[in-house]
Structure 1
């Protein structure tokens, strides 16, 4: 088993006033040659967007982009004709493919928006761009790692062009369990949204990241009430 620990305070950080952001991996003006990606996981940004502020129209291509609001409401517009709001308790995915433009703004003028934005390299390039979002309430389970993303359009959650599976866990203090990899050639990147947890013997706190590879099963034990994001992705 190989592991890599990324403590919350070691992430890249930028506060632009309208945007207070932490980068687990190299992004924008933050570059760390030791932290460019974990396998096919390229970006994990932890953003706080000021009331009424956001990202103006900008392009993407050949990237799988997953957005998970943690609190607040995100207004989204894109060149595919989608215009709507994604809120905490939902997940959004875009396959940028041959290219698209989109904008993202905090819909509320009186409160902040917190979200995770995740980029995964695709296994298929130049696809027709696509967009989807779902509500997690229909699949959410307490004290269980429930699937929110997969490579299969017919499976639970959203899907992307990559051999990847994402799970969320809303776990009680003292919960014990394990994560069994879907593909033993993959690795798993854990991100502690809230709480404290021990994974493969490593204690992790709020906003810690922990990558594990070259194993088929990983033991998990919560030390407090924990919200955990589990991302299984190809390593090559």
Structure 2
């Protein structure tokens, strides 16, 4: 829930090419691929609306005009990435003047969720005195549609190190101070995480619910089945 200690803004990563989606993204951006009758980005916005007021920015690159039209009137600001896409770190840095918040929530727009709202769960666990970032993680047995191993091992105090354990869900709270220390215009937020790991300032919390990575066409029915199961409970 909103509080003075929590981010007041949300960055939606929506600029990618969605190449793993194949033909589904030949004529539309991945955030407009539908799951259970709604575009993926609408699932993300439903979580924002359930959380409460957040200044929201979406970055745009591939077929950004379609996203701009779809999101018209939805209280979303736009950060255009032209001529080159800037990856997560560069994209977030470019959007900072629009976000006007430190820390910020960031969210990938290619997942489906059940259970506790991930933004609420992060806000309740956020401790800026101990953390520079708080990542929402998924236990492997709760993850659907995910190809590959885990990303992080978590200590009892929530601090992280890299290893084949929990999976990063694509949602976090992040302090943005270190963004200006990266010289490259386009870079991954993994560079910030590495710096935070060295200082013991990267933490995680496990998601209380289900999650499906909708990065490939075959993940769509998995996500729809997960959402239907949750609705039947």
- Mark yes or no: TM-score above 0.5: no
Q: Larger relative CO (CA 8 A, sep 6+): 1 or 2?
A: 2
TM-score, normalising length: structure 2: 0.29
Flag the structure with higher strand content.
Answer: 1
TM-score, normalising length: structure 1: 0.29
